[in-house]
């Protein structure tokens, strides 16, 4: 299997796995202890959680605190429901974890449209009276990098807080320095699934959304998993240490794949983009057939339509593609552990499978 779906999830880094194992052991080891227990075993576990918190915080701006959650989705829910805002401005290309949560929260919502390149204009007007603006750092479908710093300024000028979904950018590019809240997810940066975090700038108070034992500074009750925290922390530390190296590797992969797929059209900006995301289309391509012909290559249909929901992707629609163009799009996602040879192999086979459909460049 050639794995090219790094936006859906990344492989677990061996270093993250190694950091997790001591906190899963029992009955002889003490790693299974509850990190909220006051005895020695519990104190050892909570110490591991706090080391992990610092490692995750090191990926984020200074002057804030990290609250562990079960996922980035939960972190975004905590921010949106917890901040007390009653009116919102969000980009049309946000993940469902933002769009559906704002809808569930209720209240006025102003949609910030993006260009055909998949970018929210840096000077997008924010309506006066907006309580919370949410724009993601890197789009998960097309990889475009949003002008977050300028949008934060516009939000602050309008008196609003700014929430950044940095799930696809964290550990890969510099954090959104000026944002008020930042959501991230371990499994998109080579950590384990089942843990995310919300970074909250000092001075911002949120209302808890999960009630109970008062863990996580009273904001997110529930027993933490030291193993998941340790895995997240180790993955974050590794991502920070390897950021340039990982980006250089991704750049090599991108350049080669772009050459090999020269007959395909890129969806979204080529420059303002995380280059581990290659979202491409070919007119007339039947993506469902392509996926069934290439079952041993894990890639994604560029459109939710082809993956079964029946609706074209809201992101591809937002950049102006019609349903047919959205349906003929694929997303190829690669990263730290992708070998050049396997990407070359996959590109050649995608090209041949498209040609077998009679779809030529
Ligand atoms: N935001 C973005 C941009 C994502 O890509 C994802 C996951 O696909 C999420 C949020 C949700 O992350 P999690 O799986 O941690 O809930």
CA of 196 to the centre of ligand 1 (A): 9
- pLDDT for 308: 63
- For the 14-238 domain, the top CATH level (class) is alpha beta
Residue of 169, 151, 168 lying closest to 160 (CA atoms)? 151
The β-bridge partners of 194 are none
CB of 264 within 8 A of CB of 361? Answer: yes
**Ligand 1 pocket, residue 89 CB under 6 Å:** no
- Give the model confidence (pLDDT) of 3-42 as tens digits: 999 999 999 999 999 999 999 986 567 788 999 999 999 9
- Radius of gyration over every alpha carbon of the chain, rounded to an integer in angstroms: 21
Q: What is the CATH number that goes with domain 2-7+243-356? A: 3.90.1150.10
Residue 92's alpha-carbon distances to 110, 111, 179, 331, in angstroms, are: 9, 6, 19, 19
Among 8, 95, 170, 183, the mutation site with the greatest number of ligand 1 atoms within 8 A of its Cβ is 95
pLDDT in tens, 59-105: 999 999 999 999 999 999 999 999 999 999 999 999 999 999 999 99
Q: What is the pLDDT of residue 278?
A: 98
- 197 alpha carbon – ligand 1 mean position (Å): 11
Q: Is 72 in the pocket of ligand 1 (CB under 6 A)?
A: yes
| Domain residue limits, the chain | 2-7+243-356, 14-238
Residue 10 beta carbon below 6 angstroms from any ligand 1 atom: no
Q: Measured in angstroms, how far is the CA atom of residue 95 from the centroid of ligand 1?
A: 7
Q: What is the 3-state secondary structure (H, E, C) of the chain?
A: CEECECCCCCCCCHHHHHHHHHHCCCCCCCCCCCCCCCCHHHHHHHHHHHHHHHHHHCCCCCCEEEEEECCHHHHHHHHHHHCCCCEEEEECCCCHHHHHHHHHHCCEEEEECCCCCCCCCCCCCCCCCCCEEECCCECCCCCEECCHHHHHHHHHHCCCEEEEECCCCCCCCCCCCCCCEEEEEHHHCCCCCCCEEEEEECCCCCCCCECCCCCCCCCECCCCCHHHHHHHHHHHHHHHHCHHHHHHHHHHHHHHHHHHCCCCEECCCCCCECCCEEEEECCCCCHHHHHHHCCCEECEECCCHHHHHCCCCHHHHHCCCCHHHHHCEEEEECCCCCCHHHHHHHHHHHHHHHHHCCCCC
Side-chain half-sphere exposure of 253, counting CA atoms within 13 A: 27
pLDDT in tens, 156-173: 999 999 999 999 999 999
Q: What is the pLDDT of residue 360?
A: 65
Answer yes or no: is the C-beta of 73 below 6 A from any ligand 1 atom. yes
pTM of the model: 0.97
Q: Decide: 165 in ligand 1 pocket, CB within 6 A.
A: yes
pLDDT in the model for residue 31 = 83
Check residue 361 and give its pLDDT: 59
Q: Is 305 among the catalytic positions?
A: yes
Which of 114, 164, 229, 305 is catalytic? The answer is 305
Q: What is the CA(285)–ligand 1 centre distance, in A? A: 28
Rounded Cα distance, 338 and 5, in Å: 10
Nearest residue CA, atom 5 of ligand 1? 140
CB distance 168 to ligand 1 below 6 Å = yes
């Amino acid at each position: 299997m050639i794995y090219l779906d790094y936006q859906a999830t990344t492989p677990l880094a061996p270093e993250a796995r190694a950091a997790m194992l001591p906190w899963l052991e029992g009955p002889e080891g003490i790693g299974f202890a509850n990190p909220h227990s006051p005895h020695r075993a519990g104190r050892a576990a909570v110490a591991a959680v706090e080391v992990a918190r610092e490692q995750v915080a090191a990926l984020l701006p200074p002057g804030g605190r990290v609250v562990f959650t079960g996922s980035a989705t939960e972190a975004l829910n905590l921010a949106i429901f917890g901040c007390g805002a009653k009116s919102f401005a969000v980009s049309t290309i946000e993940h469902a974890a933002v769009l559906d949560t704002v809808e569930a929260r209720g209240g006025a919502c102003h949609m910030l449209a993006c260009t055909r390149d998949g970018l929210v204009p840096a000077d997008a007007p924010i309506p006066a009276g907006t309580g919370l603006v949410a724009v993601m750092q890197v789009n998960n479908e097309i990889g475009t990098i949003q002008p977050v710093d300028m949008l934060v300024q516009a939000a602050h000028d309008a008196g609003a807080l700014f929430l950044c979904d940095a799930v696809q950018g964290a550990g890969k590019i510099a954090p959104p320095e000026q944002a008020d809240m930042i959501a991230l997810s371990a499994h998109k940066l080579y950590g384990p699934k089942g843990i995310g975090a919300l970074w909250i700038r000092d001075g911002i108070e949120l209302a808890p959304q999960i009630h109970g034992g008062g863990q996580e500074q009273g904001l997110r009750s529930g027993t933490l998993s030291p193993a998941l925290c340790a895995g997240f922390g180790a993955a974050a530390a590794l991502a920070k240490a390897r950021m340039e190296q990982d980006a250089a590797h991704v750049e090599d992969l991108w350049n080669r794949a772009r050459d090999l797929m020269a007959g395909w059209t890129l969806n979204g900006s080529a420059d303002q983009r995380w280059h581990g995301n290659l979202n491409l289309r070919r007119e007339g391509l039947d993506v469902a057939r392509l996926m069934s012909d290439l079952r041993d290559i894990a890639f994604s249909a560029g459109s939710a339509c082809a993956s079964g929901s029946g609706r074209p992707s809201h992101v591809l629609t937002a950049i102006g593609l019609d349903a047919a163009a959205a349906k003929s799009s694929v997303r190829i996602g690669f990263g730290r552990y992708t070998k050049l040879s396997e990407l070359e192999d996959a590109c050649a086979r995608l090209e041949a499978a498209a040609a077998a459909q009679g779809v030529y460049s």
